Chains A and B, each alone.
Chain A
Amino acid sequence: MIVAKNLTKKFGEFLAVDHLNLAVRKGEIYGFLGPNGAGKTTTIKMLTGVLKPTEGSVEILGMDLRTHELEIKRRIGVVPEEPRLYPHLTGQEFLEFIIDLYDLDRHEATKRVVELCEAFKVDFLGKRIGEFSHGMKQKLILVSVFMRKPEVIFLDEPTVGLDAKSAKILKLLLRKYASEGTIIFMTTHILEIAEKMCDRIGIINKGRLIAEGTMDELRTLAKDERATLEDLFLQLTAEGEDIEEIIKEL
């Protein structure tokens, strides 16, 4: 499970995440949505140990992140929004770096890499990462995470930069992993993806979790049984009411 209790992050005087409480269960795909600057990436960074919370605690797979940081990091996978990888390494060398660092069985890992590269059409491992496009980097980081079969996967805007086929494969793969018990925590701005893929959705705005639940639960909360996720999102983040006015003024 992923459990966050009163998770808070301040940057100077700016409150980025404000006493956030979360619980994501085994085998669940949890979509974490919010407008730009709402605190999604900061939350993911705190959940993955990149940032230290100003207040509150994180528990992953039953372990406290403060006391078991390394053990947790060995068992999770992180796909950042913008993968910044070592430009002087080739794709192959980067995967070897990950294999060495996680002390993986080289034979097993290589077998997985071959399968994943075939699925995502990765045929550029011999090239230097400095020459990769965003999509190529995204595919490489996905291969490097999936080859380890982590128990929890965090993905920040995972479909950005991917072609339609790779995006489809990614979605199916995540669903398959979830059915095998993996916890998937993802952010996305593409609300259709969240609506179709996620078992539960959390909406964050100005650092606070303002709504959480299944699509049906969110509809009940918004008192609109036929609403799409886009309608609900705009209504809950109070960004819907001004749109027509804005368009008129423009």
Chain B
Amino acid sequence: MRELLVLIRYALPRRKLSGLPGFLIGFGLTMIFLFVLWSPLYRSVINQFGYEVFLAFFSLGLTVFSILFLFGYVFNLSYSLLNSEEIEFLLTLPLRRGTIALFQSIQSAYFQFLQFSILLFNVSFSSYLLRDWVVFFTGILQIVFLMSVGNVLSFLFSRTLTKSTARIVFVVIQLLSVFTFLLFLNIDLVRSASISLRFILSDWNLFALPALSYKKPFHLLTSLTFVVFTVLASFFVGERVLFEPVTGKAEKKKPRFGFLKGFYAKDMKVLLREERMIYLVFYPVGFGIILALFGGKDDMLGSIMIVLAISILYNSTMAALLWRYELLTWPIFRTFPADAWNLLKPKILLPSLLNGAVFLAFTVFLTLYTGDPLYLLLNPFVFVVYVLSAILGVTFLKVDEAAKNPSNPARIFSLQQILLVEAVSMGFAIVLFFSLKLIREMPIVSIVGLFGVPITFSLIVRALKKHLVKRIELFE
């Protein structure tokens, strides 16, 4: 225990608002947010449909978010157990393997903050509405049960999964969590309740024990038994964790994207191997599809604008990310026979093409869903906006800071820079959209907009290009 406390004190990454106060403030704010968002829904279910339907609704939430928490936790922990450099160092110190594993599990639980908060809100607010403390305590035991089952599974998975597989599955689960959260907000209550009554509110559903304990309080003891058993199992397995990478068979792979050469080929590989890429590329469109499905077919502009607002920021983040990776190897570029613009072009074009392709798929979906092919016309203009946001991303990433501070590659932009990227890019997007929308009613205004934007755009690109190239040439 002393060793674990020393590790928590020194080895946890520090943020501006660190430690317990920072965690509690973040946690408190999330709970307030969930309360504002969901408490009317919870109250309306219990008041309109009664206790039976509420229990089904409660158990549905418990089951879905328990599964998501468990999956996310397991794959994140499995990933972190696979012999990272930190673990390798910790293994040279007099620390029990179980202590190192437990320390890693605390860090993994932190990454499941959203699912953890939702589960806790679900349990505490439902027990408050049901006026039943047994439900609350069974819910708390449920969370401990999930973490200890997660520990056992992760310790076992860390012997079989490769690092990259674990990471990709983790990102996909994170993405699914957000979409499930959105679907849960828009769910058809009566239909879902009847489904959950049949399939989810059953004694065999371990994830629904807190809901079941309302009618059958002995499930508090069932939960306690599971917790004791799984906690002991996790300690037992934790002492036997190997912390060694799983080596996959090195097969000769055919080179993908063989048509790309030089910096383009290198940067494409960097992009595709970046673990956050699945999230950055698919989250905005997934979000947009959910909004389109629940928002009605009449006006898709809202969902398009939201997709754009998010994907513009992610596009500039991807460009900045590529630029940052380049700077981490600086000054190796100086030894290559290439100029600064050759170096920059793929950083700007590749993320824009990738996001442009995903946006194209989104407009195809909108066309099929609404039967209106006009959405396809947006694509060339959106691509232009992406290119602009990528240039802004590369411009805003301070060359000297990024090169000197590689310890935190996850943090790309400051809040001011994010707002500026959004303001400039969305400004262009809005002018373009309204120019298209008003083409019949106000043709002159539209033509000014449609021609004005590319001219302004090319002037900005020209100025930024000059600025960037000069900055790279001067950078030592």
Contact = CB atoms under 8 A, between A and B. Distances in A.
A157 to B, nearest CB: 15
Contact of A86 (B2, B10, B96): B10
A84 B89 contact: yes
Interface string B220-251: 00000000000000000000001011011100
* SS of B interface (majority): loop
A84 B90 CA distance: 10
Interface string B74-102: 00000000000110110111111000000
B95 A88 contact: no
A186 to B, nearest CB: 15
A98 to B, nearest CB: 8
Contact of B94 (A52, A70, A84): A70
A124 interface: no
Contacts of B3: 101
A205 interface: no
A127 to B, nearest CB: 13
B13 interface: yes
B181 to A, nearest CB: 31
B94 A73 contact: yes
B85 A93 contact: no
Given A12-B247, A12-B249, A14-B247, A101 B95 contact: yes
B92 A102 contact: no
B14 interface: yes
A85 B88 CA distance: 10
Contacts of B10: 86, 89, 93-94, 96-97, 100
Given A88-B13, A100-B10, A73 B407 contact: no
Contacts of B244: 51-52
B92 A80 contact: yes
Nearest to A11: B247
Contacts of B96: 70
Contacts of B94: 70-71, 73-74, 101-102
Contacts of B88: 45, 50, 80, 84
Contacts of B11: 86, 97
Nearest to B5: A100
B405 interface: yes
A98 B89 CA distance: 12
Given A50-B88, A70-B96, A130 B405 contact: yes
Contact of A80 (B86, B89, B242, B247): B89
Given A12-B249, A97-B6, A97-B10, A50 B407 contact: no
A52 B242 contact: yes
Contacts of A159: none
12 contacts: A12-B248, A48-B92, A49-B92, A71-B94, A73-B95, A74-B94, A80-B89, A86-B11, A89-B10, A97-B10, A97-B11, A102-B94
